[in-house]
Amino acid sequence: MTEGEFHSQPARRENSPMTDRLSPLHDIHVAAGAAFTDFAGWQMPVRYSSDLAEHAAVRSAAGLFDLSHMGEILVVGPQAAEALDYALAGKLSAIEEGQAKYSLLLNPEGGIIDDLVVYRTGPDRFLVVANASNREVAARELRERASDFDCLVEDESDDIALIALQGPKAEEILRNVDGFDLPGLDDLKYYRAIPCDFRGHNVLVARTGYTGEDGFEFYIAPDAAPALWEAIAETGAGSGLVPAGLAARDTLRLEAGMPLYGHELSTETFPVQAGLGRVVALKTKEGDFVGRAAVEQGPAPDARILVGLRSEGKRAGRAGYPVMLGERVVGEVTSGALSPTLGYPIAMAFVDPGAAESTDLELDVRGSRVAASIVPLPFYKKESAHD
């Protein structure tokens, strides 16, 4: 048998190359029996026992994720908001302290360098969270773009660990964690964040995530992260909480229709192609920002657009597989899996605009044709939305 990602051996501390970076929670994952994968130079848990069980736990109860590989970049100073308005696609000056916003770092050609979540943690203070693989480029671009503004850009990634608690039971579990001082939890709405105290350590508690469920993300110092992880894990065990790896995270975000950098997003992709036109504040921002002129002009009329596809049988279309209309290649899959929650194969794909209404699309699954229908994104939506 052969398999694409077979070459990565299980992580072993003693023989890992020096370039492999380990999370502050690594020893906990090893003790929990995790299998590891290389992700942007980090050895991160891909699964603990079963990725399907971990996926199901997040949909029905809760899952605990280590996301310490993510990049955290601090932008601080009297003109931090103005700097971000210029550097990013969104109007970050419009968010209040305690609020978060999904945004994009564009290149001058209108392509996407990275997608980000920005938290306003003070009047003059923003935390920009970047994908692990884009941490350096995001920090560099932010620093360059902010150079004419009165603010500082600091890459704090090495000093911040990130843990996510996701699932319908996340709030109940969080309320029961011993040692957490959470005065603002009652008012903590989706895409809001509050500073809290966990056993004497500062932690930013955010109601954000990447799973399509209610949940929280915790930004905390690396040396305090193991205690927080273990406290949440112990508290939640009786409620069905399990540690969950990157494999489950990927199928969860796919069902939730959330793009992943390197799959749905690239420096060649305009936001509008990926369904992210709303993220670009063309109307509400009066000033210039990087990528503005290109985005105003828009992509070529025949530029492909992102769609959701549902297909027959059990064989999923996967990244790189052609989307066919008769004998014509009219698109390409960017992410796909047999949906664990829905039971049928789902995929996101870029297709020619002319094919985006077609009812006769097929996927070329390693030489076999599989009928596929365009369906609205997300594929999965949780039952009751948290406001």
Q: Cα–Cα distance between 253 and 214 in angstroms, integer?
A: 13
The angle that helices 51-60 and 246-255 make with each other, rounded to 10 degrees, is: 50
Considering beta carbons, is residue 283 or 366 the nearer one to another protein? 366
| Window 291-320: residues binding another protein (CB under 8 A) | 314-316, 318
Number of residues that bind another protein (CB under 8 A): 27
Decide if 343 contacts 288 (C-beta within 8 A).
no
Considering beta carbons, is residue 50 or 99 the nearer one to another protein? 50
35, 76, 185, 356: residue in contact with another protein (rule CB under 8 A) = 35
What is the end-to-end Cα distance of the chain in Å, rounded?
48
Assess whether the previous peptide bond of 78 is cis (omega < 30° from 0). Answer: no
Q: How far is CA 14 from CA 9, 11, 149, in A?
A: 13, 9, 46
| Window 122-161: residues binding another protein (CB under 8 A) | none
Q: How far is CA 58 from CA 48, 167, 168, 188, 343, in A?
A: 14, 5, 7, 20, 16
| Window 202-261: residues binding another protein (CB under 8 A) | 247, 250-251
Considering beta carbons, is residue 331 or 340 the nearer one to another protein? 340
Half-sphere exposure (CA, 13 Å, Cβ side) for 259?
25
| Window 43-82: residues binding another protein (CB under 8 A) | 46-47, 50-53, 55
Binding flag, residue 31, another protein (CB under 8 A): no
187, 302, 326, 366: residue in contact with another protein (rule CB under 8 A) = 366
Q: How far is the CB of 59 from another protein (least distance, A)?
A: 14
Q: Are strands 35-39 and 62-66 parallel, antiparallel or unpaired?
A: unpaired
Considering beta carbons, is residue 139 or 316 the nearer one to another protein? 316
149, 163, 340, 347: residue in contact with another protein (rule CB under 8 A) = 340
Binding flag, residue 6, another protein (CB under 8 A): yes
Nearby residues of 15 by Cβ (< 8 Å), 6 or more positions away: none
| Binding site residues, another protein, CB under 8 A | 1-6, 9-10, 35, 46-47, 50-53, 55, 247, 250-251, 314-316, 318, 337-338, 340, 366
